[in-house]
Amino acid sequence: MSSSAPARFGSTVTGWFSRRQGAAIAAAEDATLRSDRFRLEREADWRRLEAIVSRMESGRIGAIADDDLVALPVLYRMLVSSLAVARETTLDAATLAYLEGLAQRAWFVVYGPEVGFRGWAARFFGGGWSAAVRSIGFDIAIAFALMVAGTVVGWLLVAGNPDWYYALMPAQPGDVRVPGASHDALYKSLFGRTHETGLAVFAASLFSNNAQVSILCYALGFAFGIPAILLLIHNTALLGALLWLYHGQGLTLELVGWLSVHGTTELFAIMLAGASGIHIGRAMAFPGQRAVLDAAAQAGRRTATVMTGVVLMLIVAGILEGFCRQLIDATGPRLMLGGGMLAWWLIYFFVFRRQGTVQR
Q: Answer yes or no: do 173 and 304 share one domain.
A: yes
The total of other beta-carbon atoms located within 10 Å of residue 320's CB is 23
Same domain (yes/no): 149, 267: yes
C-alpha span between 341 and 259 (Å, rounded) = 12
Does residue 1 fall inside a structural domain? no
* 4 in a structural domain: no
Are residues 208 and 339 located together in one domain of the fold? yes
Last residue within a domain, chosen from 86, 110, 134:
110
Are residue 90 and residue 214 in the same domain, yes or no? no
Mean of the per-residue pLDDT values of the chain? 79
* Domain count within the chain: 2
Looking at the structure, do residues 20 and 57 belong to the same domain, yes or no?
A: yes
Q: How confident is the model at residue 4 (pLDDT cuts 50, 70, 90)?
A: low
Q: Is residue 5 part of a domain?
A: no
What integer pLDDT is reported at residue 245 of this predicted model? 92
Does 137 score more than 60 pLDDT?
yes
pLDDT tens digit sequence for 112-130: 655 566 777 888 888 889 9
Range of the domain at 271: 118-350
Specify whether 105 is located in the same domain as 224. no
Choose the final residue of a domain: 84, 110, 136: 110
Same domain flag for 94 and 239? no
Indicate whether 58 and 173 sit together in one domain: no
- For 70-86, the pLDDT digits (tens) are 788 888 888 888 878 77
Residues 139, 206 within the same domain: yes
List of long-range contacts for 209-214, beta carbons under 8 Å, 24+ apart: 210/266, 210/269, 210/270, 210/314, 210/317, 210/318, 211/311, 211/314, 213/270, 213/273, 214/269, 214/270, 214/273, 214/274, 214/307, 214/310, 214/311, 214/314
Q: Please say which residue of 110, 133, 157 terminates a domain.
A: 110
Q: Report d(CA 64, CA 115) in Å as an integer.
A: 19
What distance lies between CA 43 and its chain's CA centroid? 42
If asked whether residues 126 and 165 sit together in one domain, one would say yes
Residue 145 maps to a domain: yes
* Distance (Å, whole) CA 235 – CA 225: 16
Q: Smallest Cα–Cα separation from 211: which of 143, 260, 266?
A: 266
Task: Count CB atoms within 10 A of the CB of residue 266.
Answer: 24
CB 212 within 8 A of CB 269: no
Q: Is the dihedral of CA 265, 268, 273, 276 positive or negative?
A: negative
Confidence of residue 209 (pLDDT cuts 50, 70, 90): low
The predicted-structure confidence for 89-103, as pLDDT tens digits, reads as follows: 755 677 778 888 888
Q: What is the DSSP letter of 171?
A: P
